[in-house]
Amino acid sequence: MGDPPDRSFSDAEEEILRATYSALREHGYADLTIKRIAEEYGKSTAAVHYHYDTKEELLAAFLDYILQRFVDTIHEVETTDPNERLTLLLDQLLVELEDHLDLLVAILEMRSQAPYEAAFAERFEQNDEYVRYMLRTVIADGIRQGVFDDDIDPEHAAGALMTIVDGARTRTVVLDDADALATARRTAEEYVDTVLRVDD
């Protein structure tokens, strides 16, 4: 446990996945077709099908691609101080999303299909598992260092923070509320400050 699946993509695949992103932003998930992706790619649908047999296969690869990029940004958090590290992780999970609101729309559509698309469900579960592992680890480390309360269950606290993160992602899209991320960031900070952190 701990290492997320590392998938690499050829240059052509990366180009197709970037075209998928553009097509998703423009048409949304429900109206996404290989034809529209091919148009963004600037090549034929056959050129897309050469790499991905079906739309589902392509979208599963797309999820691998964006979740991998997300994991990469998490890896950029290099500090080992528990307080600072947890703050930066929560920033990555919430603040950074402000630049990708249209991606959140497409992701929520794919999330809502998880009960019907095993390939989607698997990827969302894997990603959640990995992010909770990162959070749990820094919380457990903070407990050992005496900065977080030793009554805390790191597993629960990681789930609590991810509940806040997922709530913000959903509310941003459904309520078309760009402030939802800021509300969640403040809520996560209150949770860390009052539930996790030992009083100074």
Contact residues toward its own copies (CB under 8 A) are 28-30, 105, 108-109, 111-116, 121, 124-125, 128, 156, 159-160, 162-171, 173-176, 180, 183-184, 186-187, 190-191, 194-195
For residue 62, the minimal CB distance to its own copies (Å) is 16
Q: CA 62 to CA 179: how far, in whole Å?
A: 27
Of 43, 184, 169, nearest to 106 by C-alpha is 169
Indicate the residue type of 168.
A
Residue 71 is encoded by which pair of tokens? 């994991």
Of 22, 100, 29, 27, nearest to 59 by C-alpha is 29
DSSP letter (8 states) at residue 148: B
Q: CA 14 to CA 37: how far, in whole Å?
A: 13
Helices in 3-54 by DSSP H: which ranges?
11-27, 34-41, 45-49
For residue 179, the minimal CB distance to its own copies (Å) is 8
Closer by beta carbon to its own copies, 14 or else 98: 98
Closer by beta carbon to its own copies, 85 or else 123: 123
For residue 186, the minimal CB distance to its own copies (Å) is 7
Closer by beta carbon to its own copies, 61 or else 160: 160
For residue 77, the minimal CB distance to its own copies (Å) is 22
For residue 173, the minimal CB distance to its own copies (Å) is 6
CB 44 within 8 A of CB 16: no
Closer by beta carbon to its own copies, 9 or else 29: 29
Segment holding 88, helix H or strand E: helix 82-90
Closer by beta carbon to its own copies, 77 or else 162: 162
Closer by beta carbon to its own copies, 1 or else 30: 30
For residue 61, the minimal CB distance to its own copies (Å) is 19
Alpha carbon distance, N-terminus to C-terminus of the chain: 34
Indicate the residue type of 54.
T
